[in-house]
Amino acid sequence: MNYSRKKSAVLAVAEPAAASPYVRMGQLVGRKIESEADVLALVRKGLPARAALGFAEKRVVDPKLIAPESTLRRRVEHNQLLTVDESERMMRLARITSLAESLFGDEAKARAWLSTPRALVSGEPPMSPLALAITESGARIVESILLRVEYGMP
């Protein structure tokens, strides 16, 4: 009897906890993130421009969705930070990517879904969920779609 209690306690400890979306966002942008407060602090400070290129190297996002290529190149050369707006855009795309990866359970499937153009907004031309998510209202639409899929809603 005593043995089974110890065994179940060991099993409970040995099982890894699901990674927080914040942890995954941090992995995507190369910074430690554990909460929305961490996101806010990083956005206010400005992410390094090099982080946007790292985001692209991981094949997550086309850096042009964050800032013009020439701007990013210049900022990387001068070791500069992204603006608040660019940092916020990058964190928004990281959040959407994290949510999609969690839903699909696979980075490749999530990236395929995020990068495939589709009719997401009535009256608008087809676009990828990532392209739509560069604005806050667009990101909310993408989040809504992901949540509906997760909960089996139409």
Whole-number pLDDT of residue 8: 42
In a domain, 2, yes or no: no
Whole-number pLDDT of residue 1: 47
In a domain, 74, yes or no: yes
pTM of the model: 0.81
In a domain, 5, yes or no: no
In a domain, 3, yes or no: no
**CA 48 to mean position of chain CA atoms:** 17
Question: What does the DSSP assignment read for 5-43?
Answer: HHHHHHHHHHSPPPPPHHHHHHHHHTS---SHHHHHHHH
Domain count, the chain: 1
What is the helix (H) or strand (E) element at residue 78, kind and residue range?
none
**Cβ neighbours of 62 (radius 10 Å):** 15
In a domain, 12, yes or no: no
Is 83:46 a contact under the CB 8 Å cutoff?
A: yes
In a domain, 37, yes or no: yes
pLDDT by residue for the chain (154 residues), tens only, comes to 444 444 444 443 333 345 688 998 999 888 999 999 999 999 999 999 998 888 777 767 888 889 998 999 999 999 999 999 999 999 999 999 999 999 999 999 999 999 999 999 999 999 999 999 999 999 999 999 999 998 888 7
Boundaries of domain holding 118:
19-150
The first and second tokens of residue 76, run together, are 């990387």
In a domain, 13, yes or no: no
In a domain, 10, yes or no: no
SS3 83: coil
Is 65:132 a contact under the CB 8 Å cutoff?
A: no
Is 68:115 a contact under the CB 8 Å cutoff?
A: no
